[in-house]
Each structure stands twice: as C-alpha cells, then as structure tokens.
Copies of this chain bind each other. A is one copy, B any other.
Amino acid sequence: MTDEAEIGQPLAPRRASRRIWLGKVAVGGGAPISVQSMATADTRDRERCEDQLRQLQAAGADILRVAVPDMDAARNLGALQRAITLPLVADIHFDWRLALTAISQGVQGIRLNPGNIGGAAKVREVAKAAKDRGVPIRVGVNAGSLEKRLLAKHGGRATPEAMVESAKDEIRLLEDEDFTDIKVSLKASDVSTAVRAYRLAARAFDYPLHLGITEAGTLQGGSVKSAAGLGILLAEGIGDTIRVSLAADPIEEVRVGLSLLRALGLRRGGLTFVACPTCGRCEADMIPVAERVEKRLSSLRGEVHVAVMGCEVNGPGEGKAADVGIAYGHNGVGLLFKKGEIVARLPAAELEARLVEEAEKLAK
C-alpha cells in the first residue's frame, strides 16, 4: 500500500535521474517519458529499413533502434539516421569496431555492454569516440544472458540482484573511462523479475532507466505483460523511456507504448477512446463500430476524447467526460452527445460517420 501522500496522485513522484540527450531527445531528469521501438527490417537492406524507420516515426515513436549484426549493417547507419529526424540507436554486441563505425556514421545512441567487447582498451576507445560525438550508451542487462560468473554467485538464477550487479559492473567499466552519458535497462521476460530489478536499480544509481519486459510475447499477451509491468513501475515513479517489446509489427509496439503513457496521464494529445463492453441491453453490432472509429481517429494529433456506447440509458451519462460520443438505442435510432448533452437523435446507421466527422473537427 502506498502512503497517504501518494493516494491523491495516481503516480508517485518521478524518481530523480540524470538527464542525457539522444540528439534532441532528452531522457531522464524529468523529461517526458519517451517511447522506443526497434526495426525488424534487416539493417543491411537500407531501403526497407529506411521505410520502416519512417513509418515508426510517423506512428509517434520518439527513439528508434536497429540491430547492427555486421559491418555491412554498420555502414548503412548514417543513411538510416538521416532518413528520420528522431535519434537512431545502434544495437551492438561483442564487436567494438561496429560501435566505432556506428558512432562515426552519426547515430545518436548506442546500446552496448562494455563487458563483452574484449577488454578495457577497446572500451576506452569506444567511450572516447562516443564522448567526442555526444553519443550516450545504453547498458542493456538481460536476465536471459547474464554472465556465468554472476549466475554462479546468485545460485544459478538470474535474480533481480544478479541483474543489478551486472548493470553496476557494466556501468563501472564506462565510468572507469570517465564516461557517464549512460542509460540502463534490466529486462526480463518475467514481469516480477523485471519489476524487482528496476526497483533495485532505481536505488542503486541515478542513471535514467529504459524500461522493458523482454520477449513479452504476441500482440495481445505481450501488451498485457508490458502494460502491467511497465504500469507498475511508472506508477512508482520509475522509468524514463520505455519499449513495449512484442512479436508483432513494431508499429504496434509504438501504439501500445503511447496508449500506456496516455492511460497513465504521462502523455497528452491524440485520441482518448472509450467504448462500453456492450451487454444484453445493446441492440446494435457495436464492436466493429468501436474498432473502426478507434482506427480512423488514432492518428489525430489534437487532443480529443471520444465515446462509443451501446445503450441510450447509460450512454450519454457514462460518456460524460467525452468531447463527443454516440449511444445506440432501440429500433434503429441512437444519440449523438457532447460532454454528456444530447445534441442529436439520428438513425443508427448514420452515427458512426457523424461521430468521426465531429471528432475530426474537434481535434483541429
């Protein structure tokens, strides 16, 4: 249970973290929580990858990442960064040369664990190059790939404590090179492990935290895990940037991430959409209407609150907070309402089009 002061606020005060910059996007230190995603296109296929990055930018992502499996991929990074106005993060494992190439190509962030690139001399060179170009490094601890030494020390299991120890070790390697332009993730596919690891990390250091439940699963199952895990942490004031990781089109990762931030009042603008679950009182086939309306209005930039309700009895009342809404009634008619006031009684078949029209007008 939270203490008295926190009850009045849905979210605890945000954890104080340092601020870093990926290009023009601030992370930490009270900056708005940013939404990240990662391209699934092969980084070596420049055109496809550029296309996908542009789509993800259009969907509302704040920071984008690509895998850098080899030098052919690394050499595309400059073009990929120039294809978007958002910061591009290069995801690198094991090979320090890929990191140096990525930095010289002009990416605005690196994800790399200094512990696995081959020793202090290489870490020094990468840290120096990153520092010269103002490129932050994300240390990405993953419960599934913890060092054997740490697993052994923690009873063979990737415990939250082992994960935080791994993060501290990686951070130290960078700090030893006088590099502190760092953010940290501690991902696990299990919500409970991830939540505890981030809580411990939130107290262990003040670098900004990149939240994620890794390998969360499919669109639906993964969204539930991510929304629960990230929701719990964000409600505790923990987290500076998030990625919802899904086995789905990454556009969905962006949508779910933005929905989550909006649901928690951490992001303004765009569509707030409510729809009743329908019950025995509803005489219309309302669910497809709700799906279509949400889809058609989902790209609105202006702030608008829209409701689709299944009955006239509760509709306008329960949709009172909505700027505009519809409620299906009996015998093929229904209501259009604004802020709970009925403004028109219309044939049910016209409700959907009228609602979309009114919402678009309001969002302008």
One digit per residue, 1 when the CB lies within 8 angstroms of any chain B CB and 0 when it does not, for chain A 237-276 equals 1100000011111101101100110011100000001111
Given contacts A10-B196, A215-B309, 12 further A-B contacts (CB under 8 A): A7-B200, A39-B280, A40-B280, A66-B280, A145-B314, A145-B318, A189-B318, A191-B263, A215-B277, A226-B227, A247-B275, A247-B276
Q: Quick one: closest B residue to A232, CB to CB?
A: B235
| Interface contact A224-B225, CB-CB below 8 Å | no
Please tell me if A8 contacts chain B, counting CB pairs below 8 Å: yes
| Interface contact A67-B279, CB-CB below 8 Å | yes
Provide the residues of chain B in CB contact with A276, threshold 8 Å: 214-215, 245, 247
How far apart sit A228 and B239, CA to CA, in the bound complex (Å)?
Answer: 14
Please tell me if A355 contacts chain B, counting CB pairs below 8 Å: no
Q: Considering residues A2, A145, A203, A226, which has the most beta carbons from chain B within 10 angstroms of its beta carbon?
A: A2
Provide the residues of chain B in CB contact with A227, threshold 8 Å: 223-228, 231
Provide the residues of chain B in CB contact with A224, threshold 8 Å: 223, 227, 256, 259-260, 263
- Using a CB–CB cutoff of 8 Å, the interface residues on chain A facing chain B are 1-2, 7-12, 15, 38-44, 49, 66-69, 73, 91, 93, 142, 144-145, 158, 189-192, 195-196, 199-200, 202-203, 214-232, 235-238, 245-250, 252-253, 255-256, 259-260, 263-265, 273-282, 286-287, 290-291, 294, 307-309, 313-314, 317-321
Q: Quick one: closest B residue to A12, CB to CB?
A: B1
Provide the residues of chain B in CB contact with A236, threshold 8 Å: 1-2
How far apart sit A144 and B314, CA to CA, in the bound complex (Å)?
Answer: 8
Provide the residues of chain B in CB contact with A12, threshold 8 Å: 1
| Interface contact A225-B280, CB-CB below 8 Å | no
Q: How close is A331's CB to chain B, nearest CB, in angstroms?
A: 15
Q: How close is A346's CB to chain B, nearest CB, in angstroms?
A: 20
Q: With A144-B318, A221-B259, A232-B231 in contact, do A279 and B7 touch (Cβ < 8 Å)?
A: no
| Interface contact B7-A290, CB-CB below 8 Å | no
Number of copies: 2
Provide the residues of chain B in CB contact with A320, threshold 8 Å: 144, 158
| Interface contact A275-B40, CB-CB below 8 Å | no
| Interface contact A279-B199, CB-CB below 8 Å | no
Q: How close is A77's CB to chain B, nearest CB, in angstroms?
A: 12
| Interface contact B280-A215, CB-CB below 8 Å | no
| Interface contact A39-B279, CB-CB below 8 Å | yes
Q: Considering residues A39, A91, A215, A225, which has the most beta carbons from chain B within 10 angstroms of its beta carbon?
A: A215
Q: With A223-B227, A227-B227, A256-B220 in contact, do A321 and B274 touch (Cβ < 8 Å)?
A: no
Provide the residues of chain B in CB contact with A278, threshold 8 Å: 40, 247
Provide the residues of chain B in CB contact with A2, threshold 8 Å: 199, 236
Provide the residues of chain B in CB contact with A39, threshold 8 Å: 279-280
| Interface contact A280-B145, CB-CB below 8 Å | no
Provide the residues of chain B in CB contact with A7, threshold 8 Å: 196, 199-200, 203
Provide the residues of chain B in CB contact with A245, threshold 8 Å: 276-277
